[in-house]
Copies of this chain bind each other. A is one copy, B any other.
Amino acid sequence: MISPDLSDYPEINPPARVLLGPGPSMVHPRVLRAMAAPVLGHLDPAFLSIMDRIQQLLRYVFQTENSLTLPVSGTGSAAMETAVANMVEPGDPVLVCVNGYFGGRIAEMSRRYGGDVQTIDRPWGEVFGAEEVRDALARRPARIVAIVHAETSTGALQPLDEIAQVVRERGGILIVDAVTSLGGVPVRVDDVGIDVCYSGSQKCLGCPPGAGPITLGSRAIDKLEQRKSPGTNWYLDLTLLAKYWGHERAYHHTASSSLNYALYEGLRLVVEEGLENRWARHCSNAELLWRGLAKLDLVPHVPEARRLPMLTTVRIPEGVDEVRIRQELLRRYNIEIAGGLGELQGKVWRIGLMGYSSRPENVLLLLAALEQLLG
């Protein structure tokens, strides 16, 4: 047996990046420190009590009293799949609103789970009005309607109130993707009337990737309980997860204490700051960025009225090698921003100010660096 040469595998020494892309965002030192705490078994009473508190804090950030509120052991994509896998039964008519990459992903997942998927589409960067959803449901009723709150691929913020009302009037289940919005802008699950809402740990909650918060209201739970057969997905089966996170504490999988310590500490930081203050911080730092971009003659892709505070898409100026600029930002200044995704590839940069990344010093640094490189 040939053993690897240890000298080919040095200790990790990752550069300290300023993470201003679409996520992961930077992680507060207290959150990193929390992960170094001793590992607990997944059924240890000390861990169960941390789980309870995580669920309570998630209810706060989701603004919900939903009992079934928990983090799945996976990233935001796993949380998306949790929503789809548990709600979509084979043959269910599903309406997905697609105005960016992640709407498209929901549609793909829904098809995989046997949904009879119809999409309505909008150009990337625009958002849907309630009348479009109403018309689509009038043309073809759907049991499930899915929409993305903050499209990370376009930078647009989708208003939800009226759409939620339309879906409810029509008796549908509304799934909202709040991966990028949760903790950065208001996500009022109960007030708005969202049936299923999910997110990720690595955006505005400021934790490492690996935990996917999700919450289900009573109508969604009814649908779950009335399923004709268990869903295909076992790892993300909410009926099993609910038994582990709920009173029964029935073993399902080995939840990671380390990731949950991180999530707990990240949520404590949200409470310390206060949700409203956190939303206001994301706005004020975004405005600082937008004013600075204007001075550099850089034009956001999305009009300010529907622009995300935590993710700004910026049009690439004529004649600029967008890849080179990103490489230089990383190489010279340790700053990560992202290129466009899908339709917007090569057309925009994506600048994220999420969670602990959303700080004035990061905005000033990025603007100064862009000025150097574009000047």
A210 and B200 CA atoms in complex are apart in Å by 15
Question: Interface extent on A, as a size class?
Answer: 35 or more
Asked if A74 meets B81 with Cβ closer than 8 Å, knowing A39-B24, A56-B4, A258-B35, the reply is no
- Taking CB atoms, residues of chain B closer than 8 Å to A57 are 4, 9
A77 and B8 CA atoms in complex are apart in Å by 31
A35 and B37 CA atoms in complex are apart in Å by 11
**B41 close to A15 (CB less than 8 A):** no
**B44 close to A254 (CB less than 8 A):** no
Query: Within the complex, which residue of B210, B268, B336 is in contact with A41, where a contact is CB–CB below 8 Å?
Result: B336
A287 and B261 CA atoms in complex are apart in Å by 35
Closest residue of chain B to A208 (Cβ to Cβ) is B258
A residues 28-75 near B (Cβ < 8 Å) are 32-47, 50, 53, 56-57, 60, 63, 73-75
Query: Within the complex, which residue of B6, B209, B267, B274 is in contact with A3, where a contact is CB–CB below 8 Å?
Result: B274
- Taking CB atoms, residues of chain B closer than 8 Å to A32 are 35-37, 39, 258
A residues 93-136 near B (Cβ < 8 Å) are 105, 108-109, 112-114
What is the oligomeric copy number? Answer: 2
- Taking CB atoms, residues of chain B closer than 8 Å to A167 are none
- Taking CB atoms, residues of chain B closer than 8 Å to A251 are 341
Closest residue of chain B to A206 (Cβ to Cβ) is B39
A100 and B245 CA atoms in complex are apart in Å by 24
Q: Which of the 9-residue segments A140-148, A158-166, A226-234, A359-367 touches chain B? A: A226-234
- Taking CB atoms, residues of chain B closer than 8 Å to A271 are 3-4, 6, 9
**A259 close to B1 (CB less than 8 A):** no
- Taking CB atoms, residues of chain B closer than 8 Å to A73 are 74-75, 78, 209-210
Q: A116 → chain B, closest Cβ, in Å?
A: 15
Query: Within the complex, which residue of B40, B81, B254 is in contact with A77, where a contact is CB–CB below 8 Å?
Result: B254
A47 and B15 CA atoms in complex are apart in Å by 10
User: Is residue A276 contacting chain B, with contact meaning CB distance below 8 A?
Assistant: yes
Closest residue of chain B to A276 (Cβ to Cβ) is B1
- Beta-carbon contacts of A269-296 to B below 8 Å, as 1s and 0s? 0011011100000000000000000000
Q: A80 → chain B, closest Cβ, in Å?
A: 8
User: Is residue A305 contacting chain B, with contact meaning CB distance below 8 A?
Assistant: no
- Taking CB atoms, residues of chain B closer than 8 Å to A34 are 12
**B4 close to A60 (CB less than 8 A):** yes
**A41 close to B17 (CB less than 8 A):** yes
Closest residue of chain B to A336 (Cβ to Cβ) is B41
- Jot down 9 A-B pairs with beta carbons below 8 A, ordered by A: A3-B271, A12-B265, A14-B257, A15-B46, A75-B255, A108-B234, A202-B254, A209-B258, A258-B262
What would 14 more interface pairs be, CB under 8 Å, given A17-B38, A77-B254, A258-B262?
A: A6-B272, A9-B271, A14-B38, A14-B257, A15-B38, A24-B40, A26-B38, A27-B38, A41-B338, A73-B75, A75-B254, A202-B254, A209-B258, A259-B259
Which chain A residues have a beta carbon within 8 Å of chain B's beta carbons?
Answer: 1, 3-4, 6, 8-9, 11-17, 19, 21, 23-24, 26-27, 32-47, 50, 53, 56-57, 60, 63, 73-78, 81, 105, 108-109, 112-114, 200, 202, 208-210, 230-236, 251-259, 261-262, 264-265, 267-268, 271-272, 274-276, 330, 336, 338, 341
